[in-house]
Amino acid sequence: MSAKLPQKINAVLFDMDGVLYDSMKHHAITWVDAFKQYNIDFPEKEAYLNEGSTGDATIKKAIKQIENREATTKEVEDIYDEKTRLMHQLPPAEIIPGMQELMQELRAAGVKIVIVTGSRQPVLLDRLKNDFQVEKEDIVSGWDVTHGKPHPEPYLTGLKKANSSADETIVIENAPLGAKSASAAGIYTIAINTGPLKKETLINAGADKVYKTAGEIGEFLKKKGLIQFK
């Protein structure tokens, strides 16, 4: 499902992991290492394909695919605890280059910014205030929705928070499940491909455009006259 490019934009809804922060490689490596301790050979690419899914769902799917059996409740808990423990040992993820500037340009053009993330990590949510001047009321997190991505609920909730309609809003995503969620909500979706996935994987999931950098997204919006400076 693809959406039409808006004539004007009131709001841009940003995903967080892999869009604002280069945190996906941390998630990928800690998934691989956590599974390894349980003798399960989890391919790193799976972390990117499952991005946006819950930890439980990722573990159950992996064990089903790799070992052709159901995961036990204890396994699910243990592997997820180990993954979380390994994440806490890593340094904070870096900001994706150019994202602060892109957000500043959008705000200068009067565009409302809302963050739509499945994350439930308070530390990361606090960082949004410091790094991107995003207030708590402008964040849709994993705590605010019943259905996570790829369900449209997160982005529909984002539209409400932004007080904008789908045809005057753009989503910036990096993950197939995120692009699916946004396009199911009827919103024009630009993917920033910061990971190892093929462009086609994001297009097939519903992304309307795929770029490599924040700078390219800014150029596109300017070329289309969507960022008009006041």
Applying CB under 5 A, does 17 fall inside the site for Ca ion? Answer: yes
Q: In the complex, which residue's CB is closest to Ca ion? A: 18
Interface with Ca ion in residues 37-66 (CB under 5 A): none
Q: What is the distance between the alpha carbons of residues 227 and 9, in angstroms, rounded to a whole number? A: 8
Alpha carbons 82 and 102: distance in angstroms, whole number: 36
Cβ partners under 8 Å of residue 199, min gap 6: 193, 210
- Residue 38 is given by DSSP the state T
- Residue 220 — φ and ψ, nearest 5°? -60, -50
Verify binding: residue 124, Ca ion, rule CB under 5 A: no
Q: Which is nearer to Ca ion, 58 or 174 (CB)?
A: 174
> Given CA atoms 144, 146, 150, 153 in this order, what sign does their dihedral have?
negative
| Closest CA relative to residue 129, chosen from 154, 103, 149 | 103
Q: Residue 68 CB, nearest distance to Ca ion (Å)? A: 29
Binding of Ca ion by 176 (CB under 5 A): no
Minimum separation from the CB atom of position 16 to Ca ion (A): 6
- Compute the distance between CA of residue 8 and CA of residue 35 in angstroms, rounded to an integer: 46
Complex with Ca ion: residue 13 or 63, whichever CB lies closer: 13
Binding test (CB under 5 A) with Ca ion, winner from 174, 183, 194, 201: 174
- Closer of 3 and 171 to Ca ion (Cβ): 171
Q: Closer to Ca ion at the Cβ: 15 or 208?
A: 15
Judged by CB under 5 A, does residue 18 bind Ca ion?
yes
Residue 15 interacting with Ca ion (CB under 5 A): yes
Q: Name the β-bridge partners of 173.
A: 191
The residues of the shown chain that bind Ca ion, judged by CB under 5 A, are 15, 17-18, 174-175
